[in-house]
Amino acid sequence: MLRFFSGMRNDLLNTGRLRKYLTYALGEIILVMIGILLALQVNNWNEARKNKTAELKALNDLRKEFASNQATFQEHLHYKKEKEQLWNEFIHKLSDKNVPEAAKPKRRIDPGSITWNPSFGMLNSLLHSGNIDHLENDSLKVALTNWEGILEDFMEDERIHLDFTRDRLSTYPVPRPLLEIEGTKRTPHFLFQEEEELDQLFQQAFRDINFQNLMIENLYWLNSTIEESAPLHESFNLILRHLDTEIKKLENR
């Protein structure tokens, strides 16, 4: 095409027809500009398609991460609620004078201070790289930005409970068992005392007001952790709803 215009231009110049030359020269320029604009448009379409593909993959990966963490969170919350119920029953039986001595607990039960350890590699990358600004859904951006604070409130309660168990409850002078750990299940094995001696030591501890206060405080931290789980549970559901909406919108675009 360009060779054709070049030959025509030379013919027009040689024959002195300047006006026609200028007309063809203008046409040549317009064709070149149209070609450039088309190339830019195609490039923009390709970039938009690449950006859409990358954003869709990131959102799908983020949704998988949140769904996986929500599942482990639900398991952990179930564990905490079971421990809370056991401790309520445990303290009730110890303190209720109508419960026969033979029916009262003989050992202190597991404090239930195992912590939840989620993994948010995708979210952290999105937040700390600044790529969160590329998300079009403002509600999703706000929910993801607020997530860290809500998560920290819950995990702070868990850390405090764990520190309390390690530094105060477990330091009270009663026999410490060797724990056989399998997942969230802990089976205690007492190595240095016979059953009768263990009964006496624990019954003595259960009558001590200091140990009673420690046991009540342990129940308090279980209650507090469960209460702090409510905003986290709501945030999980909110973020997953926003992610589903955004993914569906991108897939249909």
Taking only the tens place, the pLDDT of each residue in 29-42 is 777 677 677 666 65
Buried b (16+ CB within 10 A) or exposed e, 28-57: beeeeeeeeeeeeeeeeeeeeeeeeeebbe
Q: What tokens does 206 get?
A: 């259960």
Local confidence band at 19 (pLDDT 50, 70, 90 cut-offs):
low
pTM, rounded to two decimals:
0.75
Q: Which of 41-50, 60-69, 197-206 has the lowest mean pLDDT?
A: 41-50
Helical H runs in the chain? 2-15, 18-95, 121-129, 138-164, 195-206, 209-251
pLDDT above 80: residue 243: yes
* Segments making up each domain of the chain, as ranges: 63-251
Buried b (16+ CB within 10 A) or exposed e, 161-196: beebbeeebeeeebbebeeeeeeeeeeeeeeeeeee
Res 181: pLDDT: 75
In tens, the pLDDT along 54-83 reads: 778 888 988 999 999 999 999 999 999 999
- Which residues touch 225 (CB under 8 Å, ≥6 apart)? 80, 154, 157, 158, 161
